[in-house]
Amino acid sequence: MSDTQTQPTDIAAATQQAEILAQALPFLRRYAGATVVVKYGGHAMGEEHLARQFGNDIALLKQVGINPVVVHGGGPQINAMLKRLAIQSTFIDGLRVTDAAMVEVVEMVLAGTVNKYVAGLITQAGALAVGICGKDGGMIRARKLQRTKIDPGSHIEQALDLGFVGEPIGVDVRVIHALTGGGLVPVIAPVGVGEDGQTYNINADTVAAAVAGALNATRLLMLTDVPGVLDKNKKLIPSLTLAEVEERIADGTITGGMIPKVENCVEAVRQGVKGAVILDGRVPHACLLELFTEAGPGTLIKR
């Protein structure tokens, strides 16, 4: 205690802080030594104070004995660079068609500017973060993504050519273990490499799920710009089993862009992740609220 007299308001604030720490202690024990994969979306980087807060939260996780692994996106940042370079983007079913010229820009933005920015946020907050991409050490092995679509006129199934858009076929976790074992926080850009050395642009949610599954992570946190999975009355669904996810997709509760996000979570859980959570990255301290309180702010998907 300082030599100066403590004011009642100071005591009240200190007592509240002590109560918060006491309530968090069981959760700190639960996740001690655990691996938590966090997908940090490009849209969540838009506000500087939230970005700094994210860096602080990831640094805190590392400092209390959790092993966070961050996988980031960067769609808005890629769009901005393509606009500056006067390169036109085309999307099919939410996936960016990526030709040879565009894949160079995608790699430059994701593995360069955005990757180092996110790693810098965490390092500035007091943990040592290292930015890498899926090509480093052959970490994320990929192949060309195969998609088909029914032609509305002929009703014939047609193959879609998305260019150098890929999907992961394997994750070599040795690089990640080397970093986490050395006290570092890996920050991974979702760029993979094919058997022929070709670079592939991969959806960040898909990479996060694959990395979480390969690491047998305790939690996968998907930070997005919506509260989580909503029911038909637009109310948050706190948790879903794998069977319930299938039911909610079939009855039209889960639609649009939420379907692939949920399916990635399901795949991660099937690979051994204890639970995957879709939550709003715009909520202050979203990761801490999810891990260290009973009333997590998102939707937990579990077996």
What confidence tens digit (pLDDT) does each residue in 291-302 have?
A: 998 877 899 999
Above 50 in pLDDT, residue 1?
no
Residue 232 placed within a domain:
yes
Least confident among 79-88, 209-218, 236-245: 79-88
- What is the overall mean pLDDT for the chain? 90
* Selection from 207, 212, 175 nearest residue 69 by Cα: 212
Render pLDDT for 125-139 as a digit per residue (tens, 0 to 9): 999 999 999 999 999
* Selection from 172, 181, 177, 96 nearest residue 134 by Cα: 172
In whole angstroms, give the CA distance from residue 81 to residue 110. Answer: 11
Residue 188 placed within a domain:
yes
Q: Which two tokens stand for residue 223?
A: 């930070």
Map residue 6 onto helix, strand or coil.
Answer: coil
The burial of 17, by beta-carbon neighbours within 10 Å (0-12 exposed, 13-18 middle, 19 or more buried), is given as exposed
Domain count, the chain: 1
Q: What is the pLDDT of residue 277?
A: 97
Map residue 180 onto helix, strand or coil.
Answer: helix
H/E element, 13: helix 8-30
The CATH number of residue 167's host domain is 3.40.1160.10
Residue 179 placed within a domain:
yes
Q: Domain span at residue 41?
A: 30-302
Render pLDDT for 6-43 as a digit per residue (tens, 0 to 9): 565 688 777 777 777 777 777 888 888 999 999 998 66
